[in-house]
Structure 1
Amino acid sequence: MRAPSPGLSAEGAETFDPLPSTAGPWSPDAQHGGPPAALLARAVERLPEAGDGRIGRFTVELLGPVPLGPVAATARVVRPGRSVQLAAAQLHDVARDRVVATAAAWLFPRTAGPGGDPGPLPHTPADGSAHPRPQAWHGGYLDAIEWRWIHGGLERPGSGVVWMRAPALVVGEPTSPVQRLLACVDSASGASAALDVREWGFLNTELSVHVLREPIGDWLCLDAETTLADGSVGVATSSVYDERGLVARSAQALLVVPRRAGS
């Protein structure tokens, strides 16, 4: 079963009108972190200076809720170079005229290296199972993604292993491998929720992804874990795989707070 709707529809060169399928689990009025991260990666990849480079590290800072209203993405190279380049991107809330997310991306050359794939996982999406969405979470993004759980679940506290398939990021446009990766990897904190989502919120303030190689195919697997202490800070980490093997590792800083009654 395919996701019911694509991620974002374009209005002009760099301005986008988010669809309801981008809404996050905490509120129907704010986007999940995956689509904005992927949109910022798209802006970087479309830079003329990017040329034949590829994103090797991508860090997103979430400065506030990303609305389900028009947003505009821009990017520029801030550190040019013959071997590696550093690009920066911003996502603007058009209605409120403010920056809601920024990204920094290191671009690496597409050259052959000495390493090799560690080998595929012992399971595929066909081995996973679909779980119903937790009633405490909103739909939108969670309903648009195809989930095939190997271990854990959004409704089960603890670590999680899940295959994910995201819909198209922009209507009528192919989604690049790194855009597809970023649309999914922000879900590590939810896939490994360490607390009851009816009582606690755990919102990520940033996302850092080290991309070892670009993923192949539509499906990605997150092997995710959340670590908590006795304060308001948590850390969600994941190893990300395609059906060939490891493609990336990620980390997110989480704000851990009690949920208000009715939220």
Structure 2
Amino acid sequence: MIEKSAQHPCFYRLLDASGDGRETFESLPATAGPWSPEAQHGGPPAALLARALERSSDAVIGRFTMELHGPVPVGRLATTATVLRPGRSVQLVGAELYDVARGRVVASARAWLFPASDRGPEQPKPPEHGPADGAHHARPTAWHGGYLDAVEWRWVSGSVETAGPGVVWMRPPALVEGEPLSPVQRLLACADSASGVSAALDVRRWAFLNTELTVHVLRPPVGDWVCLDAETTLGSGAVGIATAAISDETGLVARSSQALLVAPR
């Protein structure tokens, strides 16, 4: 059995919830990304935006796109959500993430919401491996801890220090202190890691920063673990693309893509 870490209990602490739907959060150290302790990994903000979107409707997220307007600070953040296109069958909803100290939007999301249903024509096929088949690898010394230390990682193949595709099982901590993590929040807390899981360059010499994250969700995942089967494709310029097939222990749940800014460090 794989033990559950208690090192970092959550990513955020809720500070205030106003009547107009705006909520304010304190970002905890576990949100910090690999490049700097002052800037967040993309996973926690994606999950926090998904939380705001889920609270706007009872439907389920079928497609989620996050635009990163710049670094998300490890500081006070606020979320808002709006129904952009209501509908009986599908809805388009939007959410924004604000840097409270600077009074500006640092990330935004759009999602198509679909009816909740378990009567689809296809049944998931279990993956050939599970979390217990993976191994723990120490993070690269060139990368900051924060998020990387808060999440449990079990590598089936590859690593962030091995150039090429990678397959890893991930178990993130709670998103907001005192709240259960929803299935889609768990998925999005992990999906942004595809570019690191399939790192194609030496992280000591190159930075590869994603400007956006798009996830098409077939169904909400079940269980505590999420698996990324990721690959990065590089071009001859500053653009790269990271893609992943994302599964739970019963089968495929989503596919993701990220546009990467590739630059020397």
User: By the TM > 0.5 criterion, same fold?
Assistant: yes
Tell me which of 59, 71, 74 is aligned to 2:77. 71
Amino acid at match of 2:25: F
Q: Deviation digits for residues 7-43 of structure 1, max 9, x if unmatched? A: 1111012100011010000111000000000000000
Tell me which of 149, 160, 167 is aligned to 1:154. 160
Tell me which of 188, 208, 230 is aligned to 2:236. 230
> Are residue 60 (structure 1) and residue 63 (structure 2) matched?
no
1:200 counterpart residue number: 206
Counterparts of 1:1-263 in structure 2 under 5 Å? 1-5=4-8, 6-13=10-17, 14-47=23-56, 50-51=57-58, 53-259=59-265
| Larger deviation, residues 5-14 vs 20-29 | 5-14
Checking the alignment, whether the CA contact within 8 Å between 1:3 and 1:146 is kept in structure 2 is no
Checking the alignment, whether the CA contact within 8 Å between 1:117 and 1:246 is kept in structure 2 is no
CA distance in 2, matches of 1:117, 1:194: 33
CA distance in 1, matches of 2:110, 2:94: 5
CA distance in 2, matches of 1:29, 1:3: 23
Name the SS for the 1:169 alignment partner: strand
CA distance in 2, matches of 1:100, 1:22: 15
Unaligned runs of 5+ in 1: none
CA distance in 2, matches of 1:207, 1:182: 9
TM-superposed CA distance for 1:156, in Å, is: 1.3
**TM-score, normalised on structure 1?**
0.96
Q: Deviation digits for residues 165-190 of structure 1, max 9, x if unmatched? A: 00000000011000000000000000
Amino acid at match of 2:207: G
Identical residues among aligned pairs (%): 68
TM-superposed CA distance for 1:113, in Å, is: 3.9
TM-superposed CA distance for 1:111, in Å, is: 2.8
CA distance in 2, matches of 1:175, 1:114: 25
| Larger deviation, residues 206-215 vs 148-157 | 148-157
Amino acid at match of 1:108: F
Unaligned runs of 5+ in 2: 18-22
Task: Note closer, same or farther for the CA distance 1:164–1:64 as it changes in structure 2 (3 Å cut).
Answer: same
CA distance in 2, matches of 1:114, 1:130: 36
CA distance in 2, matches of 1:167, 1:142: 11
TM-superposed CA distance for 1:118, in Å, is: 3.8
TM-superposed CA distance for 1:3, in Å, is: 4.6
Name the SS for the 2:189 alignment partner: helix
Q: Deviation digits for residues 111-168 of structure 1, max 9, x if unmatched? A: 3444223411111100100000101110000000000000001221110000000000
Task: Note closer, same or farther for the CA distance 1:178–1:74 as it changes in structure 2 (3 Å cut).
Answer: same
TM-superposed CA distance for 1:63, in Å, is: 0.2
CA distance in 2, matches of 1:184, 1:214: 13
